[in-house]
Chain A
Amino acid sequence: MFLVRRRAPSSLRALSGGFKRCVSQQQGDEKQHSNDAKYLSTQTPIFKIFAISSAFLSLGFALGFVLADKKDSTSSTTKLKDLKPLVYASKDRVSYALSKIAKIVGDEKITVMDSELKLHSQDPSKFIQAKTGEKPYAVVYPTTIEEVSKVVKVCYDACIPVIPYSGGTSIEGHYIPTRKGISIDVSRMDKILDIHKDDLDVIVQPGVEWSYLNEELEPYGLMFGPDPAPGALIGGILGTNASGTNAVRYGAAKDNILSLKVVLADGTVIKTRQRPRKSSNGYNLTNLFVGSEGTLGIIVEATLKLHVKPQNEVITMMNFKEIGDASRAVTELFKNGISCNAVEFMDNRQMTAVVEMGTGGEHKWSSDHLLLLKLSAVDDSALNSILSRVEDVGKNNNAFNIQVAKDKEEMEDIWRVRKTLLWNSLGWAKKFKPNAMVLPTDVCVPMSRLPELITKTMEKMEKADLLATAAGHAGDGNVHVLVIFEPEQVAEAHRIINEMSTMAIELDGTVSGEHGIGVSEKRELLEKELGTDTIDLMRTIKFALDKKAIFNPDHIFKIDPSEKRHPFDDQ
Chain B
Amino acid sequence: MARSKLLSLWQLSKTAAAPGAGTRRFATSIPRWNEAKTAQPGKETANGNDKGGEKNENEDKKKGGFGQSILANTAILVFGALIGTSWASFNLCKEPPEFLFPHTSTLPLASTLSPLYGDSKLVIEELKGFLKEDQVSEAKDDINNHSDSFFSTDHPTPDEHPDAVVYPETTEQVSQIMQAAHKHHVPIVPFTGGTSLEGHYITTRRGICLDMSRMNKIVALHKEDLDIVVQPGVGWEDLRDYLQPLGLIFGPDPGPGAAIGGMCGTSCSGTNAARYGTMRENVVSLTVVLADGTVVKTRRRPRKTAAGYNLTNLFVGSEGTLGVVTEATLKLNVLPKFENVAVVSFPSMSDAADAVAKVVQSGVQFNAMELLDAQMMKFVNESGSVTKNYDEKPTLMFKLGGNSIKVADSITNDIKDICNECHCGKKNFRFASSDEEKEELWTARKVALWSTIDAGREVYGEDAQVWTTDVAVPISKLVQSLVDTRKILDDEKMMSSIVSHAGDGNYHTFIVYPKKDHDRVRQVVQHMVTRALELDGTVTGEHGVGIGKREYLREELGDVGVNVMRKIKFALDPLLILNPDKVIQVDPEEKKK
CB distance from A130 to the nearest CB of B (A): 21
Chain A positions within 8 Å of B237 at CB level: none
Chain A positions 362-389 with a Cβ under 8 Å from a chain B Cβ: 377-379, 381-382, 384-386, 389
CB-CB < 8 A to B26: which residues of A?
A: 48, 51-52, 55
- Within residues 21 to 79 of chain A, which ones have a CB less than 8 A from any CB in chain B? 22, 26, 29-30, 33-34, 36-37, 39-40, 44-45, 47-49, 51-65, 67-69, 73-77
- The reply to whether A445 and B16 contact each other, CB–CB distance below 8 Å, is no
* CB-based nearest A residue for B298: A534
Q: Chain A nearest CB: distance from B261 CB in Å?
A: 15
B25 within 8 A of A: yes
The winner among B5, B404, B409, B504 for most chain A CB atoms within 10 A is: B404
User: Which residues of the partner chain A approach B29 to less than 8 Å between Cβ atoms?
Assistant: 44, 47-48, 51
Are A278 and B295 also in contact (CB < 8 A) when A51-B29, A196-B476, A517-B307 are?
no
**Which residues does chain B contribute within 8 Å of A59, judged by CB atoms?**
17, 86
Known: A44-B36, A288-B314. A64 touches B540 (CB 8 A): no
The smallest C-beta distance from B320 to any residue of chain A, in angstroms, reads 12
Report how far A40 CA is from B43 CA in the complex, Å: 14
Spot the interface stretch: B121-129, B456-464, B551-559. Answer: B551-559
Chain B contacts with A in 280-336, Cβ cutoff 8 A: 280-281, 290-292, 294-311, 313-314, 316-318, 322-323, 334-336
Q: Is the CB of B225 within 8 A of A335?
A: no
Q: Closest Cβ of chain A: how far from B390's Cβ, in Å?
A: 27
Contact B33 A48 (CB under 8 A): yes
Once A276-B474, A540-B572 are accepted as A-B contacts, the answer to whether A446 and B227 lie under 8 Å apart by CB is: yes
Question: Chain B 475-492, CB within 8 Å of chain A: the 1/0 string?
Answer: 111000000000000000
| A533 lies within 8 A of chain B by Cβ | yes
B540 near A8 with CB under 8 A, answer: no
Annotate B124-158 by CB proximity to A: 1 below 8 A, 0 otherwise: 00000000000000000000000000000000000
Provide the residues of chain B in CB contact with A331, threshold 8 Å. Answer: 224
Among B93-101, B381-389, B443-451, B514-522, the one that faces the other chain is B93-101
Chain B residues within 8 Å of A252, by CB:
304, 306
Q: B residues 461-515 with Cβ under 8 Å of A?
A: 472-477, 504-506
Interface residue B6 (Cβ < 8 Å from any Cβ of A): yes
Is the pair A36, B303 in contact by a Cβ cutoff of 8 Å?
Answer: no
Contact of A75 among B294, B360, B561 (CB under 8 A): B294
Q: Is the CB of B36 within 8 A of A40?
A: yes
B59 at the interface (CB under 8 A from A): yes
By the criterion CB–CB under 8 Å, are A61 and B314 in contact? no
Quick check: A444 and B314 within 8 Å, CB to CB? no
A529 touches B (CB below 8 Å): yes
| A291 B78 Cβ-Cβ under 8 A | no
B432 at the interface (CB under 8 A from A): no
Bound-complex Cα distance A34 to B357 (A): 97
Shortest C-beta distance, B179 to chain A (Å), equals: 11
* Cβ of A466 under 8 Å from chain B: no
Cβ of A200 < 8 Å from any Cβ of B? yes
Q: Is the CB of A264 within 8 A of B105?
A: yes
Instruction: Write the chain B residue with the least CB distance to A27.
Output: B67
Query: In A274-289, which residues have CB < 8 Å from any B CB?
Result: 274-285, 287-288
Whether A265 sits at the interface, judged by CB under 8 Å, is: yes
Please give the distance in Å from A481's CB to the nearest CB on chain B.
16
Residue of A5, A199, A379 touching B410 (CB-CB under 8 A): A379
Contact B572 A537 (CB under 8 A): yes
Residue ID in chain B nearest A512 by CB atoms = B307
A113 at the interface (CB under 8 A from B): no
> A540 — which chain B residues lie within 8 A by C-beta?
571-572
Contact across chains for B541 and A266 when beta carbons are under 8 A apart? no
CB distance from A334 to the nearest CB of B (A): 6
| Docked-complex contact B571 and A541, CB < 8 angstroms | yes
Interface contact B402-A382, CB-CB below 8 Å:
yes
Contact A513 B475 (CB under 8 A): no
Query: Is A544 a contact partner of B70 (Cβ separation < 8 A)?
Result: no
**Interface pair A308/B362, CB less than 8 Å apart:** yes
CB within 8 Å of A: which B2-49 residues: 2-3, 5-6, 8-10, 12-14, 16-17, 21-23, 25-26, 29-30, 32-33, 36-37, 39-40, 43-44
Judge whether A389 and B404 touch: CB under 8 Å: yes
CB distance A446 to B310 under 8 Å? no
Known contacts A74-B574, A198-B475, A283 near B568 by CB under 8 Å? yes
Contact of A37 among B40, B91, B303 (CB under 8 A): B40
**Do the beta carbons of B85 and A11 come within 8 Å of each other?**
yes
Known A-B contacts A58-B16, A280-B267; the reply to A544 vs B571 at CB < 8 A is: yes
Residue B583 is within 8 A (CB to CB) of chain A in the complex: yes
User: B207 to nearest A CB, angstroms?
Assistant: 16
Determine if A34 and B40 form an interchain contact, defined as CB atoms under 8 angstroms apart.
yes
Contact A279 B337 (CB under 8 A): no
**A121: CB under 8 A from chain B?**
no
Q: How many residues of A contact B (CB 8 A)?
A: 158
B269 near A278 with CB under 8 A, answer: yes
Q: Contact at A446–B334, with CB atoms within 8 Å? A: no
A240 and B362 contacting across the interface, CB-CB below 8 Å:
no
How many whole Å from A487's CB to the nearest CB in chain B? 29
CB-based contact B568/A534 at 8 Å: no
Shortest Cβ distance from A228 into chain B, in angstroms? Answer: 10
A276 with B304, Cβ < 8 A, contacts A39-B36, A44-B33, A270-B560 known: no
Closest to B113 in A: A1
The segment out of A135-143, A414-422, A425-433, A502-510 that lies at the interface is: A502-510
B313 and A284 form a contact (CB under 8 A): yes
Asked whether B541 lies within 8 Å of A278 as measured between CB atoms, the reply is yes
Q: For the complex, what is the distance from the CA of A307 to the CA of B361, rounded to whole Å?
A: 9
In the assembled complex, B116 has its CB within 8 A of some CB on chain A: no
Judge if A166 is at the interface, Cβ distance under 8 Å. Answer: no
B361 to chain A, nearest CB (A): 6
* Interface presence of B242 (CB below 8 A): no
Instruction: From A207-215, A241-249, A348-356, A489-497, give the one contacting chain B.
Output: A241-249
- B247: CB under 8 A from chain A? yes
Q: Does B118 have its Cβ within 8 Å of any Cβ on chain A?
A: no
CA distance A265 to B30 in the complex (A): 54
Tell me which of A97-105, A184-192, A545-553 binds B. Answer: A545-553
**Contact with A55, one of B23, B473, B584 (Cβ below 8 angstroms):** B23
Please, which residues of chain A bring their CB within 8 A of the CB of B226? Answer: 334, 447
Q: Please indicate the chain A residues that have their CB under 8 angstroms from the CB of B102 in the complex.
A: 266
Task: List, in ascending order, chain A residues with CB within 8 A of B402's CB.
Answer: 337, 382
Evaluate whether A281 and B545 lie within 8 angstroms (CB atoms) in the complex, with A44-B29, A243-B304, A337-B402 already known: yes
Contact A33 B56 (CB under 8 A): yes
Known: A382-B406, A557-B308. A284 touches B316 (CB 8 A): yes
- A251 at the binding interface (Cβ < 8 Å): yes
B530 contacts A by Cβ under 8 Å = no
Partner of B222, one of A76, A307, A448, A536: A448
| A556 partner residues in chain B, CB cutoff 8 A | 308-309
Asked if A292 lies at the interface with its beta carbon under 8 angstroms from chain B, I say yes
A201 close to chain B: CB less than 8 A: yes
* B368 part of interface (Cβ distance < 8 Å): no
Give the residues in chain B near A515, CB-CB below 8 Å. Answer: 306
A266 touches B89 (CB 8 A): no
Considering the complex, give the chain A residue whose CB is closest to the CB of B475.
A199
Q: Which of chain A's residues have a CB closer than 8 A to the CB of B280?
A: 284, 287
Question: Please, which residues of chain A bring their CB within 8 A of the CB of B411?
Answer: 378, 382
Complex contacts, A76 vs chain B, CB 8 Å: 290-292, 294, 323, 571-574
Q: Given contacts A278-B269, A378-B414, is CB(A15)–CB(B299) below 8 Å? A: no
Interface flag for B199 (CB, 8 Å): no
Q: Kindly identify which residue among A5, A264, A311, A444 contacts B564, using a CB–CB cutoff of 8 Å.
A: A264
A563 to B308, CA, bound (A): 19
Q: What are the 9 closest A-B residue pairs judged by CB atoms, nearest first?
A: A308-B363, A64-B93, A60-B86, A547-B103, A544-B571, A60-B89, A198-B476, A448-B224, A264-B105
Q: 6 new A-B pairs (CB below 8 Å) besides A444-B305, A446-B303?
A: A61-B89, A277-B472, A282-B553, A282-B557, A448-B224, A478-B304
Task: List 8 interface pairs A-B (beta carbons < 8 Å), by A numbering.
Answer: A8-B89, A56-B85, A60-B86, A61-B89, A76-B290, A268-B560, A270-B560, A281-B556
